Structure 1
Amino acid sequence: MVSSPTPTEVLDVVGRLEAEKGIPEQMRADVRLLGRLLGHILSESGSAGLFEDVERLRAATIEAYTDPTSDAFDRAVEIVGGFTPERADEVVRAFTVYFHLVNLAEEHHRVRVLRERDGASPRDPRGTVAGAYAALVDEVGEDAALKGVEGLEFHPVFTAHPTEARRRAVSTSIRRLSELLGELEAGPRGGGAEKRTQRGMLEEIDTLWRTSPIRRDKPSPLDEVRTVMNVFDDTLFTTVPEIYRHVDDAVRGTGTGGAAPVVKPFVRIGSWVGGDRDGNPFVTAEISRSAAAIASDHVLHGLERATQRVGRGLTLSEASTPPSADVEALWERLRGLDEESAAEIAKRSPGETHRAVMLMLSRKITATRERNADLAYRAPEEFLADLRVVQDSLVAAGAARQAYGELQDLIWQAETFGFHLTELEVRQHSAVHAKVLAELESGSVRSELTEEVLEVFRTIADVQERFGLRAAGRYIVSFTQSAEDLANVHRLARHAVGASGTPPVLDVIPLFETFDDLQAAPGIMAEIVDHPEFASRLEATGRKLEIMLGYSDSSKDVGPVAATLALYEAQADIAEWARAKDIELTLFHGRGGALGRGGGPANSAILAQPPHSVDGRFKLTEQGEVIFARYGDPDIAQRHVDQVAAAILTAGAPSNEARNHGAADRFADVAARMETSSRARFFELVKADGFAPWFATVTPMEEVGLLALGSRPARRGLSVESLEDLRAIPWVFAWTQARINLAGWFGLGTALQSVGDEQVLRDAYAEWPLFRTMIDNVAMSLAKTDERIAREYLALGDRDDLAGLVLDEMSLTRDWVIRITGGDGLLSNKPVLQRAVKLRSPYVDALSLLQLRALRALRDADETAETDPEVQRLLLLAVSGVAAGLQNTG
C-alpha cells in the first residue's frame, strides 16, 4: 500500500519544482491562487478523498520528474493502478482543469508583461515593426523602407482541423475566469471586492470541474464556423485597427491621429472553415453558402455598431466644422432613400451634418445585413466611398483629429473585412476532380458526387455576386501532381455554368504536399502559366500568383528533417522561377500547431525562408488551439501580428537574404548528408513490416478518432494497414499523446551523427537560420517527451525491434541537440519556453499514466468483447487533458 504524503511533504516537493522552474513571482502567485481555489472545489464538490488522491499522485509525479533516481515513478504507477474507475475519472478531470488554469495564468502573465513593455519608456523595439522599420531605414534608406511597409501583407487562414480538444463551453468559462483574474489584480486587496471576485472565481472553477471536457457529438461544420466567429467578435474586429495604428506610430515616429496614415491595411483573414471539403463529406456547397452568410452577418453587425458609435461621437456643429458640398449632397441622397429615418436623425442632430450622415450610414449597413434592397449597399466599396466623403469634409473643415481618429479605425475595418469578413477558400482533392470530369465527359448519368462538385462552383459565383470577389474565389487543389490537375478546375467551372453561363472568378492554387511533388513544383508551374484561363487571371491580377506548400504530408512522407530541407529547396526554386517570369509570388504555408506539421514560432520561421520567397507577403494556415492561443486575447493578438509583420519586413532586407543564401551555400554538403541519412532512418522505421498496425497499437490513434474533436474524419479509409490512408493530423496527434512526439524529430539524431563534426554543426546553428529553427523546434518537441512513459506505450506493441529503434533515435537526437545548443539540458538557451514545459510536464505525466491504464485495458480485452464504456471514457478524458497540458498538439 502506498502511503499518503503529509501536507508538508507535498509542499516541499512542489516548492523544489517551482524553485527550479524559476517562475516569475506574479505568475507564481496566480498559479498558487488558482491551484488553491481548485483544491477548495475538489474538496467541496468531489467525492470523499478525491483531493487527497490528487495530491498523492501530484507529489509522486513531481518527485519523479525532479529526481529520476527515486522510486517515485513506480509509486505513481501504483497509485494510478489502485484507483477505482470512478476515482480515475475524477482525477483525470481534476488535472485537466488544472491545465486550463495554468494555461490561463501563463496567458495572463504574458498580457501583463506586454502591457508593462508597452508602457515602458523607451519601449523595447526588438521583434516589433518599429524596430524592423528602423533597422531597414539604416540598411536601405527611408524611401525603400517605407515602400516595404506599404507592401506588407499578412494573411492567416483559419482552418477547422480537429486538434482543438477543448469544448467551446470550457473556453467560455476560461474567458470569464480570465476577466475575474484581471479584476482581482486591478482591484483593492483585503476588502469586500476581493471576496466577491474570489467567490466568482470559485463559481467558474466549479463550473469547469462540473462541465464534461469532451463533447458528446462531433461538431458540425457550421458549429466550427461559429467557433471561429468568436475570435472575430471578441478580438479581431477591434484589434486590427489598433495594429495598424501601432505600425503607423512606428513609421511616423510620433502618434498618429492628426494626419492621414501612411500604413495600408495589411491583414487579410482567410478561412477554410466551411470550405475545405478534401476528405470531409460533411462540407457541402450549402454549408459553404451558409458559412459565407454567417461570416457576413457578423462583420455587418460589427460595422453597424462601429458606424453608429462614430456617428454619435461626431457632435461637431456646422458653425465650427462646416460640412463640404459633397457631404451636403450625400445627406440629400441619403434623405431621399429613407425620409422617415433621416427626419428622426435630423431632429436628434440639429446643425450636426457629419453626425447625421454617419448615423444614416449605420442605417444603410443595417439594411445591407437585413437585405433591404432599397437602402442596402451593393458592395463595401460604396460604403468606403461614403466614409471618405465624410473624412475629406472633416479634414477640409480643420477637424483632422476627428477625420483620422475613430473614423479612420472604421475605414481600416471596412478595408480589411469588407462585407465578407473572411475570404472563404475551397479545397478539394485532385483525384475527385479527375473522377468527376471523366464522368461528365463520358456522357454517363451524373452521380451525386458530380452534382455536388458542380454546385460548389455555382456557390462560389453566388457568394461573389452577393459579397464581392474577395469573399470567395481561391480554390486549392490538394495533391497537385500535374498542370492538368490545375486546368481541371477551370474545366469543371465551365461545366457548372453551362455554355451560356459565366464561370466564377477563380484563383486556382496548387498544393504541393509530398516530397516528389515539392521537387516537381517548378516544372508544373512553368507549364500551367501558359494555360489560357490561368494566363488570363495572371494578367488580370497584375501577375500575382499563389502556391501552397504542405508541411504535414511531406513530413509523414519522408520524415521531418528531409521534409524541412525539401520545403526550403522547393521555395527557393519556385521563388527563382517566379522572379524570372516577373510574377509576384505568395507562398502559402500549410503549417499546423505541432512541430511535425511545421509548427513553432512563425516569426523565426519567416526569417529562415529563402531569398525572395517572402518579399513582404506571408500566408499560413492557423488551426485548432493555435487560433485561440494567438488570436483569443487582444493584447496577445496584437503582439503576435506585430512580431509576424516585423519578421515579414525583415525577411526582405538584403542582409537577411544574403545571410540565408550564404548559409544555404556554405552548409549545402551538411544539408545533403542530413537529408539522405534522415530519410533512410525514417524509412527504416515506417517501411518496416507491420509498422502501421504497430503504430495503431502503441498510440491511441484509433481511439483519437472516437473523440468528437472536429467534423472531419481522422482518416481517408477504414484500414490502418497503410499510412497512406492516415491523415497527417492524427499521425502527429497520436505520437504526441504517447509522449513520443516522433513526427517532430525522428531521424534528426542520425542526420547529425552522419555529419559528425560538432563544431561544424555549432557553426551551422549560429549562422544558418533554417538549421537553427529546426534544432530549436526539435528541442521543444523533445522537451515534451518522456522516455519512461514512452517505453510504457511502446511496450503495448510487442515489437522490441521497432520500440528499440524509436528509443535509440530519441536518445541520439536528444544528445546531439544538447551538444549543439549548449547547456546541461534541452531548452537551456530558451528559459521562458523551458519554464513553460517544466511547469506542465509532471502533471501531464499523471494524465499519461491514467491514459496508459485505459489503453492497456482496451488492448488486453478480448477482441470480440464489448468495449467497456468506462474505460473508453477514461481514455478520451485523458486525451483531452494531455492536449490541454501540451498545448501544441496538432
Structure 2
Amino acid sequence: MVSDPISVPASADASGAAFSEKAIDLLFSLLREVVERHHPELLPVLAGESGNTLSPQMLGRAIQAQGILFQLLSIAEQNGGMRKRREVERLQGREALPGSFANVLASAKKAGLSAERVREAFAGLKVRPVLTAHPTEAKRVTVLERHRRIYRMLIELESPRWTPRERHDLEDTLRNEIELLWLTGELRLEKPNVSQEIAWGLHFFNETLFEVGPDVLARADEAMAQHFGEANLPGFLEFGSWIGGDRDGNPFVTNAITRGALIECRLAALRRHRQSVLELLRGLSVTEASLTLSGDFRDALTLALEESGEGNVIAARNPGEPFRQFLVCVLNKLDDTIACTEAEEGAACRRGYESADRLVTDLRTLEAGLRDSKLGRLADTEVVPLRRQVDLFRFSTVRLDVRENSTRVTQTLEALWRVSRGEPDDVAAPAQDGKEWQAWLMAELAAPRTGMRDLSGLPAVANETLGLFRLIADMRPKVGREAFGSFILSMTRNASDVLGVYLLAKEAGLFADPAGVERCSLPIMPLFETIDDLRRAPAIMRELLALPLVKRSVRALGGVQEVMIGYSDSNKDGGFLSSNWELFKAQQKLTAVGTEAGVKIAFFHGRGGSVSRGGVPAGRAIGAQPRGSIQGLFRLTEQGEVISSKYANKGTAAFNLELLAASVFDHALKSQAAAGSSSSPEFDDALEALSGAAHAAYQNLISNPALVAYFQEASPLEEISLLNIGSRPARRFGAKSLAELRAIPWVFAWSQNRHIVTGWYGVGSSLANFIEVRGSRGEALLARMFDESPLFRLIVDEVEKTLAVVDLDIAREYSQLVADAGVREQVFGMIAREYDITRAQILRLSGTRGLAERFPEYRQKLDHRLPVVNQVSRQQVSLLRAFRMTEDAVRKEEFRKTLLLSINCVSAGFGATG
C-alpha cells in the first residue's frame, strides 16, 4: 500500500489517461484543506492508517471523506476525458474520434457506401436508451447537483483568461462546493418513494438531456453533410423510461403512480418547449420593415392570429414584428396545453396543441418563413434546434414502458377464468403450460365483444393488474400513444404467458377493432431472463408469430416485434461466460425466426451497470452483437448509477449518446455490407464447449448447500437492504431463498466483499478443460478466437479487468465472518482455487505477466482507487462484525451508519453497485 492514497503520480496526464493531473491535484488538495479544518484527526486515516482508534462516528466521517475522494476523482476523469476528446478533434478532426458519427460515416465513405445506402440505414433506425429506477444509485439528488457544480467549476478554471486574483476567487468557490459536499448528508434518511424516483429521472432531462439530445442529432447531420453532401437525416434518437411503470416486484408502483408519471413526464416536455419558445420569441426581434415577408407565412400568421382569439391584442403588443406575433400564438397554445395537462383533460383541450406534430408543423412554418425572408442562417441556428427538440421529446419526454411479471399476470387471468365461468375462488384453474389453458385463451381472444364485461367480482390484486391496462386505454387519448412504450412481461416462460397479456389488453379495450378480434394496439414484449428461458425463446416466438392475431398486431405496429433479453438474471443463473454465449445464440436464433415469419425482431438489452450485469463498454458490446441482429429499434436499459455517470454533465452526456447511436449505426451498416453467416462455425463450436464447462463449474458453486450461509455471512447482503437507495424490495415476493433474490443485490454484495464471482467464476475451468481435451490445436484455436472473435475477446477482456479488482486477501477477511469453519473453508476454498486457475488461463491467453497490463488507462484508474478501496474494505469487515455482535441499540445505530457509509464508499470507488 502506498503511504498516501490521496497523492497523485506526476505522470498521470503524461500517460494519456483520460483525466487531468492538475484538476485532480487541485480537487484533492482542497478536500484535504476542508477535512483538516473540521477534523484534523482524520488526516492519518486519509494517509492510509487503519482508523481503528477512532470512534464509529469519526471513522464514518473519515470514510465519507474517502468516498468524496472517489467522487472528485470521477468528476476530474470526466472533465479530463472531455478535454482529451476536444484535443483530438482540434488536432486531427472529428472523424479521428472513435465512436463519433464523423468517424463512422468517414469509414462508410471509404468503404464505398452510397449516400442512399446510408440514408436507408438511418431511416429504419431508432436508438432508445431507457432510464430505470433500479436500486443501485447510492447518491442523493442533492449530491448529484453538487457534483455538477464542481464539474462546471473545473471547466471555468480551464480558461486562461483569468487573472491570479480571479483564479484564486474561483478556487475559493470550488473549495466551498467541496466543503458543502462534505457537510451534506450522503445517506438518504428514508427510502425514496416512486414519485421521488420519477423526479430523480426527470432531473437528468432538465439538467442535460433536453439540450444534449438535439445536439447529437445535429452532429449526425453535420457528419452526413461533410462526408456525403447531404443532411436532414430522419430522427433516430428517443428516450424511454420504466420509472413509474415498472411494477415487477415493486408493490409501490400503483396505477395512480403510473398515471402521475405520465402526467409529470408530459409536463416536463411541455414546460421545456415553452421555455425554448419564450427564449426564441425574446430573441427574434425582426421587424417587417427590414425584410420581405412571403405570402405563405403572412397567410399562416393571419390564420394563427384568428385562431388565437386575441389576434388584435397580440398584433398591438408586437407591432410590425410578424415572427414574434407568430411565436406568441405558439406560446399561448402551449400554455393552454399545459393547463389542460395539469387538469388531466389532455386531447380535450380546445385551443392547445392536440399533438407534438402540430407544434412541429408550426415550427416548420416559422422556419420556412425565415428562409423565404433570406434569414436561413437564423432558421438553422434558432428554429431547427427547437424543432429537433420537439421531434425528439414530443409531449411526453420519454416513452414509458410498463412491466409486470408473469406470475402476477397469471393470477389475474386465473381470476378472470373463474369469473367468466362462474367458478368459486377455491377452484383451481388449468395448468398454465397445458393445452386446456391455451385453448381457453385462444377462445377468449377469438370471441367478439359487444361491450365491457362485468368483472366487478375480481379480487383486489387482479383488479389492480387489469386496471393497469384500462389506465393505458384511458390515458392514450389524453397524452398520446407516443407517451407509452411497450408492455413488458418479465419471467416469460411460454407462449400462453404472452397470449394472456393480449387477453388482458382486449378486456381493457386496447384492440383496434370494436369487437376485439383483429389486432392489439398495445406493443407486447416478452422478457427472457434465465438461461432456460433464453433457450426456449426461439420456439416461443415461432409459436406466437405463427398466430394470425399476433402477426396482424405486429405488422400494424410497424412490422417489428420487440424481445427483451436479460443480462442480470442470466448471469446469476448461469455465470458470466455462459450468460454471454446464451444471449448471443438467442439473438441469432430469434433473428432467424423473425426472418422466417416475415417480421423484424428487435432486441431490448436489459443491461446493468456492472460487468456482471452486462455493463461493458457500449461500442464494443454493440460491435459484438450477432450480425444482422440490430433491426429497426435498438434499446437498452440505463440503470441506477449508470444514469448519473453518463448523463449528469452535458459534455459527458453528449459523448455517451453519440457513442451509443453511432455504434448502433456502425453495426447496422457493417451488417448490410457483409452478407452470409455472422460467425465462424468453428468458433461457435468452441464457445459452446467453453460455455458448457463454465456453466458446470458455476453451477457446482451456486448449488453448494453451504453457499447461501456463506454468502449471507461473508458479505453485507442483508445490510445492503438498509441503504435507502430505491423504492423496490430486494426480493420479488419477499422470500428468503437465493432463487428469489434479485440480481442487483446478488452482484452488489459479491462486489463489496471483493470475491466478485459474478464476473469470472467458471471461466478458468472452462479454458483449462478445453486445452486439456483438445491439446495444442485447442490452444491455437483459442488464440485465433482471441484475435478474431469480438464476442470471445470481449468476454476475456472483461474477465481480466474483473480479476484485477478481486482481492483474495481481503476476501479471506470477509470469509472470517462466517461462523461455521467448515462452511468457510469449503466455499472460500472453491473460490480461491477457481481464481488461481482463471488468472493463470487468462494471462496465458493474453500473453501478459500481470492482470490488466493491456489496459493502461484502466490500470492507472485502479492504481488510484484500490489502495483506498482496500482500506475501506478492511474497515467494512470490522464494522460488519461489530454491527452484528453489538446488542446495545445506540451503539448498533452508530455502527450501522458508518457501515452504510463504507458500502457507499466502496461503490463510489468501483463506480458501480449492482
* Alignment pair present for 1:364 and 2:388: no
Change (3 A) 1:837 1:672: same
User: CA distance change for structure 1 residues 880 and 644 in 2, over 3 Å: closer, same or farther?
Assistant: same
Matched, 1:484 2:496: yes
What residue is the counterpart of 2:159 in the other structure?
A: 186
Q: Given the alignment, which residue of 814, 821, 830 partners 2:846?
A: 821
* TM-score normalized by the length of structure 2: 0.89
Tell me which moved more, 377-386 or 122-131: 122-131
State the match for 1:101 in structure 2: 72
Distance 1:660 1:530, change over 3 A: closer
1:544 equivalent in alignment to 2:560? yes
Preserved contact between residue 106 and residue 227 of structure 2 (Cα < 8 Å): no
Candidates 405, 412, 422, aligned match of 1:429: 405
1:36 paired with 2:40, answer no
Aligned partner of 2:870 in structure 1 is 845
Superposed counterparts of 1:102-121, under 5 Å: 102-121=73-92
In the comparison of the two structures, how many residue pairs are matched?
855
Q: Give the whole-Å Cα distance in 1 for the aligned partners of 2:161 and 2:288.
A: 46
Change (3 A) 1:794 1:820: same
Matched, 1:415 2:374: no
The alpha-carbon deviation at position 680 of structure 1 amounts to: 0.8
More divergent stretch after superposition (572-581 vs 385-394): 385-394
Q: Name the residue aligned to 2:107.
A: 135
2:379 to 399, 403, 417: 403
Contact map agreement 2:18 2:857 (CA 8 A) in 1: no
- 1:866 deviates by 9.1
| Partner in structure 2 of residue 806 of structure 1 | 831
Shift of 1:329: 3.2
Amino acid at match of 1:105: A
Change (3 A) 1:658 1:820: farther
1:361, 1:301 → 2: CA distance?
Answer: 13
TM-score, structure 1 length as denominator? 0.91
Alignment of 1:222-371 (within 5 A): 222-253=195-226, 261-318=231-288, 321-340=291-310, 342-371=311-340
Contact 2:262 2:483 in 1 (8 A): yes
Identify if the C-alpha distance between structure 1 residues 17 and 861 changes in structure 2 by more than 3 Å, giving closer, same or farther: farther
Matched, 1:86 2:62: no
Alpha-carbon contact 1:187-1:194 (below 8 Å) kept: no
| RMSD (CA atoms) | 2.7
The answer to whether 1:702 aligns with 2:712 is no
2:528·2:566 contact (CA, 8 Å) conserved in 1? yes
Residue 12 of structure 1 deviates from its aligned partner by 11
Contact 2:19/2:76, CA 8 A, preserved across alignment: no
Residue in structure 1 matching 2:487, options 467, 472, 475: 475
Distance 2:675 2:871 in 1: 45
Question: Structure 2 vs 1, CA of residues 616 and 138 (structure 1 numbering), >3 Å: closer, same or farther?
Answer: farther
- For residue 374 of structure 1, give the secondary structure of its aligned residue in structure 2: coil
SS in 1 for 2:20: helix
CA distance in structure 2 between the aligned counterparts of 1:12 and 1:245, rounded to whole angstroms: 43
What residue ranges of structure 1 are gaps of 5+ in the alignment? 58-78
Q: Which residue of 2 aligns with 1:747?
A: 762
Give the C-alpha shift of residue 298 in structure 1.
1.0
Matched residues in 2 for 1:98 and 1:877: separation?
13
> What is the distance in 1 between the residues matched to 2:614 and 2:45?
39
> 873, 881, 884: which is aligned to 1:856?
881
In the TM superposition, 1:498-537 aligns within 5 A as 505-537=521-553
Aligned-residue offset at 1:212: 1.8
Q: Distance in 1 between matches of 2:793 and 2:418?
A: 53
Contact 2:88 2:97 in 1 (8 A): no
Secondary structure of the corresponding residue to residue 426 of structure 1: strand
Cα distance in 1 for residues equivalent to 2:468 and 2:411: 16
Structure 2 CA distance for partners of 1:693 and 1:717, relative to 1, 3 Å: farther
Q: What one-letter code is carried by the residue in structure 1 that aligns with 2:305?
A: R
Name 2:42's counterpart in structure 1: 50
1:637 aligned residue (633, 653, 666): 653
Identity of paired residues, percent?
32
Q: Which string of whole-angstrom CA distances, capped at 9 and with x for unpartnered residues, describes residues 492-523 of structure 1?
A: 12333599898983100000111111111111
The DSSP-based 3-state class of the residue aligned with 1:618 is strand
Match of 1:589, SS?
strand
2:122, 2:665 within 8 Å by CA — same for their partners in 1?
A: yes
Deviation at 1:779, TM superposition (A): 2.0
Partner-residue secondary structure (3-state), 1:545: strand
**Does the aligned pair in 2 maintain the 1:96–1:884 contact within 8 Å?**
yes
| Alignment-mate amino acid for residue 410 of structure 2 | A
- Aligned partner of 1:161 in structure 2 is 134
SS at match of 2:128: strand
Amino acid at match of 2:91: A
Whether contact under 8 Å (1:617, 1:648) holds in the other structure is no
Please say if 1:887 is aligned against 2:908.
no
Report deviation, 1:305: 1.4
Change (3 A) 1:50 1:454: same
Which deviates further from its counterpart, 346-355 or 541-550? 346-355
Moved more, 530-539 or 726-735: 530-539
Deviations 1:755-781 (A, max 9, x none): 224433222111000011111222222
CA distance in 1, matches of 2:213, 2:589: 34
Segment drifting more, 304-313 vs 166-175:
304-313
Which of 191-200 and 448-457 deviates more? 191-200
Cα deviations by residue, 1:725-781 (Å, 9 ceiling, x for unpaired): 100110011111112211111111111112224433222111000011111222222
**Retained in 1: the 8 A contact 2:333–2:352?**
yes
CA contact (8 A) 2:814 2:877 kept: yes
Shift of 1:189: 5.5
- Tell me if structure 2 keeps the 8 A contact 1:151–1:616: yes
Q: 2-side partners of 1:270 and 1:494: how far apart? A: 24
Report whether the alignment pairs 1:877 with 2:901: yes
Whether contact under 8 Å (2:567, 2:607) holds in the other structure is yes
Given that 1:464 and 1:504 are in contact with CA atoms closer than 8 Å, whether structure 2 keeps it comes out as no
The AA in structure 2 aligned to 1:759 is A
Q: Distance in 1 between matches of 2:593 and 2:325?
A: 54
Match of 2:782 among 740, 756, 761: 761
Per the alignment, residue 125 of structure 2 pairs with: 152
Q: Give the Cα separation in 1 of the matches to 2:759 and 2:365.
A: 54
Distance 1:134 1:834 in 2: 31
**Equivalents in 2 of 1:699, 1:659: separation in Å?**
49
Question: What whole-Å deviation, never above 9, does each CA across 1:615-659 have from its counterpart, x for those lacking one?
Answer: 464210001111121122212222222222222122134479859
Question: Equivalents in 2 of 1:578, 1:707: separation in Å?
Answer: 43
Matched AA of 1:548: M
Q: SS where residue 111 of structure 2 aligns?
A: helix
1:68 aligns with none
Distance 1:769 1:463, change over 3 A: same
Retained in 2: the 8 A contact 1:137–1:144? no
1:662-701 equivalent positions in 2, closer than 5 A: 663-701=679-717
CA distance in 2: counterparts of 1:326 and 1:751, whole angstroms: 71
The one of 594, 597, 606 aligned to 2:610? 594
Would the aligned equivalents of 2:18 and 2:81 in 1 still touch at CA under 8 Å?
Answer: no
755-764 or 101-110, which moves further after superposition?
Answer: 755-764
Q: Is the 8 A contact 2:221 2:233 kept in 1?
A: yes
Q: C-alpha separation between the residues in 2 aligned to 1:191 and 1:662?
A: 60
Which letter maps to 1:111? M
2:181 is the counterpart of 1:220:
no
Q: Write the deviation string for residues 282-320 of structure 1: whole angstroms up to 9, x where unpaired.
A: 001111111111111111111111122233333344455
**Which of 726-735 and 792-801 deviates more?**
792-801
2:489·2:527 contact (CA, 8 Å) conserved in 1?
A: yes
- Render the CA deviation track for 1:817-845: whole Å, top value 9, x for unaligned: 22323333222222222222222111111
The aligned residue for residue 465 of structure 1 is: 477
